[in-house]
Amino acid sequence: MNIEQARFNMIEQQIRPWDVLDAHVLHLLSVVKREDFVPLAHKALAFVDMEVPLTGGEVMLAPRVEARLLQDLGVQKHEKVLEIGTGSGYMAALLAHRAQRVITLEINPDLARMARASLQAAGVHNAEVRHLDGSRGVPVEGPFDVILLSGSLAEVPQSLLMHLKAGGRLGAIIGDEPIMRATFVTRVGEAQFRTVQPWDTVAPRLQNFPEPSRFSF
């Protein structure tokens, strides 16, 4: 496989047509080596338009979903980012290139170790992987400029919104299959939030976040 051609095709045929047009994001996708974060058994899937299986039933999100999340969050160089759901560490690497600091939480200890090693090998030194359950609380380093949940949830966790700085943004994929929506919430005041849901996708659930009761009568 010609890796650079496959990377170019991924960007031009999957990502750019999905309205990812930010030049900085497109450049990052060309220089952060996605294949270095893919498990050896699935290297051939590194640039394919699909989720890549990881240890413990988790996945890497499809490249176009990762790219669109990164673009729409608009991370800036001075900002501090919290990611919940490290997975392979690839999204943390992308975020780290845009942010001042990234703290990323992974519930699976094997994935946390793998992501930590991959980030170190890639020379990413401003992203810290912690083996923690992100549904159980937020690191003391908050509040954060950006919070990204790298998976889906039934609803936006209101507790996390209180850990955003003024002007801070939370990004997540919210809803139930077959319809989920990319959801971005901006803290515009002490208790005021603005929500937009600009595009649809689907993604596996993050573990241990609450599921609302569904009764039918």
What average pLDDT does this structure show over 77-96? Answer: 98
Q: What are the structural domain ranges in the chain?
A: 3-201
pLDDT in tens, 145-157: 999 999 999 999 9
207/69 Cα distance (integer angstroms):
20
pLDDT > 70: percent of the chain: 97
- Tell whether the model's pLDDT for residue 90 goes beyond 80: yes
Is domain 3-201 classified as CATH 3.40.50.150? yes
80/96 Cα distance (integer angstroms):
9
What pLDDT is stored for residue 57 in this prediction?
A: 87
pLDDT in tens, 65-77: 999 999 999 999 9
What average pLDDT does this structure show over 125-139? Answer: 95
- Tell whether the model's pLDDT for residue 212 goes beyond 90: no
pLDDT in tens, 2-32: 999 999 999 999 999 999 999 999 999 999 9
- Tell whether the model's pLDDT for residue 137 goes beyond 90: no
For residue 159, give every residue at least 6 positions away whose Cβ sits within 8 Å of its Cβ, in sequence order, or none: 138
- Exposure letters 3-20 (e unless 16+ CB within 10 A, then b): eeebbeebbeebbeebeb
